[in-house]
Structure formats: C-alpha cells, structure tokens
C-alpha cells in the first residue's frame, strides 16, 4: 500500500457521483446496479455482570418485538423513547443490548465482505483505500495529534508535561505551536487530501484482496506502531472507502453510520446478502440512512 499524493486524480470520479443532500448518496456514489446495507454487529449480555458478546440486529429486533428491514434504525429497533439513550437498552427478557459501532466493523466481518468483493472485480490486486483523516493520532499537527500514552514508574512525580505546555501558552501567547508527529509521516500529514462532501481522507493504493485476510493490519501504512511499542496489539482503522481499479464496486463505511454500504452488481449484492456470515439486506438507490427514516418501527 502506497500513499497517493494526487488523490483527486484517482478518486475524482467518485466525487462526481455524490450528492450534496443527506441521502445515502452524500457518501455512497450513484450509478451502480444494486446496493447492500451491511449491519455492524451489536453487543448483548444476559445481565450487568455478564460478558458482552456480538449479536445481530435481527436478534435485537426479536428481543424488542420490532422488525428488521433495509431502512431500520437502531434507535427505533430497540424502542428508544423520545430523548432516551439508545446506546444501551434492556429488553423485556432482561438482556442488555449495546449499539453497534459507527464507522467501523470487526476484521472478521471485513474479511468476509472482501471475499465477495474480490470475486466480483477484474482487478483484485489493484485498487484504492481511503482512510478518514480524523481518526485519533493518524495525522501529525501543530499543538497535538489527539492521543497520548500513560506510563507508570517508580520515579518521583514531576510537573506534568501538559501543564508546562499550558502554562507556556499563557506566558508566551505568540509562541509558535509545536508540531507533533502522527502515525503517518509528516509528508503525508501535510499533503493533499481526498476531499469529499463534509469528509476528507488520506488515499492509498491498496489491493482489495489484502482485506480478505484479517491480518491486513500488518501491511497497512497507518498501522499504529507507536502504540505497539507501548504494549498494545497491532491495530489499524479499516478503510472508510474501498474500491478496485476497475471501479466494479465501492464499499463505504461512513464514520457516523452503524452500517456499511456496498455498491456493485446485482450478483455481488446477492452474494453478500445471502452469506450467513454477513447480516445484510438490499437497499434501494436514493435511500436515507437518517436515524428517523425508519417508518416501520416508529
């Protein structure tokens, strides 16, 4: 995977197929035969002391007596009252359901999806991956990069670094802000972005076939190696947008959505929606994914 310094040349075609309204085409391009909505897993536990396990939207609908359909919203699916907290809801049987993650999915789910994606493109070994620029610590910046690490030692406590920086900013308000490196290089951090409506991304060349293996993280340029040096497991945010060189399909995981949309051929969408490892339903072009668009479960 390599950084693309001229992202609009590679991805400008996608921008031309987006709308400025707030239908799903604000983020997902027009012009494909069919679309699938892939529901990110939710979490459930039997009681407050039990461990959480992954569950489906269908299971949540069954527990709350609602209906899973292509335009379902999690808030309505779990019968959230007006102004209520939809992130954690308790069903009549006592089980506690937690909302799906927005903008991300487990590596195993991405691998299952990618298995179908690479079977429906003539260029499985050539394509593009866009990563939203706002993920914490991805890019460097003046004044901080949005993350930090806490270390415990036996040394005598000293003045916290952040306090010294804060004090200096008041004592010398004209002092130039210090540059803090991010996960990606300074060249990438200061370079051009793949600009789409309300979202900016860093664009990389990427073989779609790579993502069929959950260990794709080990090859990602945006792998967080600094976190690994502090004892964390290898980690990297999966692409917000993925497409092959032949543009046969596009996968979009919008950061504020609890589901991923794949646009492609009828055959691809059918394969995704019939795979038992993937909870997905066909969705019409022009659909809304707004939380209040679910008219069936209101």
Q: Where are the domains of the chain?
A: 1-40+101-298, 41-100
User: How do residues 209-234 score in pLDDT, each as one tens digit?
Assistant: 999 998 988 888 888 887 777 778 87
Largest Cα–Cα separation, the chain: 65
Helix H or strand E encompassing 225: helix 225-229
Is the Cβ–Cβ distance between 36 and 279 less than 8 Å?
no
> In the numeric block, which tokens belong to residue 26?
């604000």
The SS3 assignment for 63 reads helix
Look at residue 153 in the predicted model and tell me its pLDDT: 47
d(CA 202, CA 191): 9
Per-residue HEC secondary structure of 233-256 comes to CCCCCCCCEEEECCCCCEEECCCC
User: How do residues 160-199 score in pLDDT, each as one tens digit?
Assistant: 544 455 555 555 555 667 867 888 888 988 999 999 999 9
User: How do residues 162-171 score in pLDDT, each as one tens digit?
Assistant: 445 555 555 5
d(CA 295, CA 298): 6
Look at residue 161 in the predicted model and tell me its pLDDT: 46
Read off the pTM. 0.87
Going by pLDDT thresholds of 50, 70 and 90, the confidence category of residue 281 is very high
Up-side HSE of residue 178: CA atoms within 13 Å toward CB? 8
Residue 189 or residue 72, greater confidence? 72
The mean pLDDT of the chain is: 87
In this structure, what are the phi and psi dihedrals at residue 182, rounded to the nearest 5 degrees?
A: -110, -165
> Does 295 have pLDDT greater than 60?
yes
Look at residue 182 in the predicted model and tell me its pLDDT: 82
């Amino acid at each position: 995977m390599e950084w693309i310094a001229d992202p609009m040349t590679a991805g400008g075609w996608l921008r031309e197929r987006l709308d400025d309204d707030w239908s799903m085409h604000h983020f997902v391009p027009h012009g494909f035969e069919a679309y699938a909505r892939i529901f990110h897993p939710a979490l459930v536990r039997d009681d407050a002391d039990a461990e959480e396990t992954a569950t489906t939207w269908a299971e949540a609908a069954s527990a709350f007596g609602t209906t899973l359909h292509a335009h379902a919203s999690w808030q309505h699916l779990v019968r959230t009252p007006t102004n209520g907290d939809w992130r954690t809801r308790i069903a009549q049987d006592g089980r506690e359901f937690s909302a799906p993650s927005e903008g991300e999915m487990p590596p195993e789910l991405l691998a299952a999806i990618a298995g179908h994606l690479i079977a429906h493109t003539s260029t499985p070994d050539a394509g593009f991956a866009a990563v939203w620029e706002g993920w914490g610590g991805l890019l460097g910046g003046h004044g901080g990069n949005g993350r930090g690490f806490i270390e415990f030692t036996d040394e005598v406590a000293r003045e916290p670094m952040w306090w010294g920086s804060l004090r200096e900013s008041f004592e010398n308000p004209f002092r130039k802000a210090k540059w803090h490196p991010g996960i990606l290089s300074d060249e990438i951090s200061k370079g051009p972005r793949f600009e789409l409506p309300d979202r900016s991304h860093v664009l990389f060349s990427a073989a779609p076939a790579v993502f069929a293996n959950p260990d794709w993280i080990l090859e990602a340029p945006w792998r967080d190696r600094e976190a690994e040096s502090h004892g964390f497991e290898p980690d990297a945010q999966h692409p917000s947008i993925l497409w092959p060189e032949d543009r046969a399909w596009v996968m979009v995981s919008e950061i504020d959505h609890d589901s991923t949309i794949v646009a492609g051929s009828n055959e691809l969408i059918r394969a995704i929606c019939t795979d038992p490892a993937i909870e997905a339903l066909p969705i019409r072009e022009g659909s809304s994914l707004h939380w209040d668009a679910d008219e069936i479960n209101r």
